[in-house]
């Protein structure tokens, strides 16, 4: 299964996003997908380029809007495996409204955020994930804002799958993306993906020092929402691994009344009064 294409990424050498690209390609192959069964939808930012670097259906969307597009793709063709991706600025600033509602809606989509704690494409401004005191061109005296905690937000919004990983740990990252694709519902995967050009604080070495791998806690129970929230707070959101999974809750597609068995994209939608009436009748 070949998910590589001949487009050369124009990320800076050493950017964490390379590993995310490779992990998506490996995970898609490991779950047995063919390129025509996968759609990768991205937002804007350095990370947003990823949809062009994977041999699959791809759409490089608009800023903060990867998830509305991904949800539309999934609703139109539930037979596709849909991966949405973007950066922390894309998903947690302009796109945060979509992120929260997509999480609680629970469509069967895997959402991968490349969290580098800065805006890279626009050459280094403070993002919602930057630490208090973080100095950039937009906060020359240091950020006075609180850092947003995506894992806490995802859990609070009712996520059925929450995981976090690190670009340097491609084995863990691949297996989490694989698990996210297999999960029947919305999978939220936050990835520490260093921006080597503009973020000189949250470097690979910094993450290696601060990350807490859940493997250290053999008794940890990822089916408990309370345990997950406690562990996130205890570790300051730095833990990696599968943090929470609810295998019981049905996905949006399974719950929506009148949702036709055959994918919308496969139906005869030739515009005729008869077809239109049939389509309306399905949603009654
Ligand atoms: Fe990666 Fe940063 Fe370069 Fe963008 S600016 S490609 S995030 S290293």
Choose one of 14, 130, 197 to mutate for the ligand 1 pocket test, by most ligand atoms within 8 angstroms of C-beta.
Answer: 197
pLDDT of residue 135: 97
Rounded (5°) CA angle 102-27-189: 35
Residue 208 has pLDDT above 90, yes or no: yes
pLDDT of residue 273: 85
Q: pLDDT tens for residues 213-241? A: 999 999 999 999 999 999 999 999 999 99
For ligand 1, the distance from its centroid to the CA atom of residue 139, given in whole angstroms, is: 19
CATH assignment of 17-259, among 3.30.360.10, 3.10.450.50, 2.40.50.1070, 3.40.50.970 = 3.40.50.970
pLDDT tier for residue 1 given thresholds of 50, 70 and 90: low
Per-residue DSSP letters for 2-13?
--B-SPPP-SPT
SS3 assignment, position 249: coil
Q: Which atom of ligand 1 is nearest to the CA of 198?
A: 2
Instruction: Pick the atom of ligand 1 nearest to 47's CA.
Output: 7
The H-assigned helical ranges of the chain are: 17-30, 66-76, 88-89, 96-105, 150-156, 170-182, 204-210, 225-234, 252-255, 273-282
Angle between helices 170-182 and 17-30 (to 10 degrees): 50
What is the domain partition of the chain in residue ranges?
A: 17-259
pLDDT per residue as tens digits for the range 104-153: 999 999 999 999 999 999 999 999 999 999 999 999 999 999 999 999 99
Confidence of residue 279 (pLDDT cuts 50, 70, 90): confident
ipTM over 0.90: yes
Quick: pLDDT tens for 40-67. 999 999 999 999 999 999 999 999 999 9
**What confidence tens digit (pLDDT) does each residue in 234-246 have?**
999 999 999 999 9
- What are the pocket residues of ligand 1 if the criterion is a CB atom closer than 6 Å to any ligand atom? 11-12, 15, 17, 46, 116, 120-121, 195-198
Residues, the chain, total?
284
């Amino acid at each position: 299964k070949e998910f590589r294409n001949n487009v050369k990424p124009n990320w800076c050498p050493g950017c964490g996003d390379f590993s995310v690209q490779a992990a998506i390609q490996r995970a898609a192959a490991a779950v047995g997908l063919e390129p025509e069964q996968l759609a990768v939808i991205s937002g804007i930012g350095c990370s947003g380029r990823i949809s062009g670097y994977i041999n699959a259906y791809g759409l490089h969307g608009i800023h903060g809007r990867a998830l509305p597009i991904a949800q539309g793709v999934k609703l139109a063709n539930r037979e596709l495996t849909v991966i949405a991706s973007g950066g922390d600025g894309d998903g947690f600033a302009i796109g945060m409204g979509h992120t929260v509602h997509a999480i609680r809606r629970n469509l069967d989509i895997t959402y991968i955020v490349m969290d580098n704690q800065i805006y890279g494409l626009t050459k280094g401004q403070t993002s919602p994930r930057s630490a208090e005191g973080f100095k950039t061109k937009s906060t020359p005296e240091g950020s006075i804002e609180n850092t947003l905690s995506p894992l806490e937000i995802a859990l609070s919004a009712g996520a059925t799958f929450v995981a976090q990983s690190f670009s340097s740990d491609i084995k863990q990252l691949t297996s989490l993306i694989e698990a996210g694709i297999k999960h029947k519902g919305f999978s939220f995967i936050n990835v520490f993906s260093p921006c080597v050009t503009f973020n000189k604080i949250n470097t690979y070495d910094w993450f290696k020092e601060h990350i807490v791998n859940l493997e250290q806690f053999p008794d940890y129970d990822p089916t408990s929402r309370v345990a997950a929230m406690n562990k996130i707070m205890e570790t300051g959101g730095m833990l990696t691994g599968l943090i929470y999974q609810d295998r019981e809750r049905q996905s949006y597609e399974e719950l929506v009344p009148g949702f036709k068995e055959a994918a919308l994209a496969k139906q005869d939608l030739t515009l005729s009064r008869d077809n239109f009436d049939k389509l309306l009748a399905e949603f009654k």
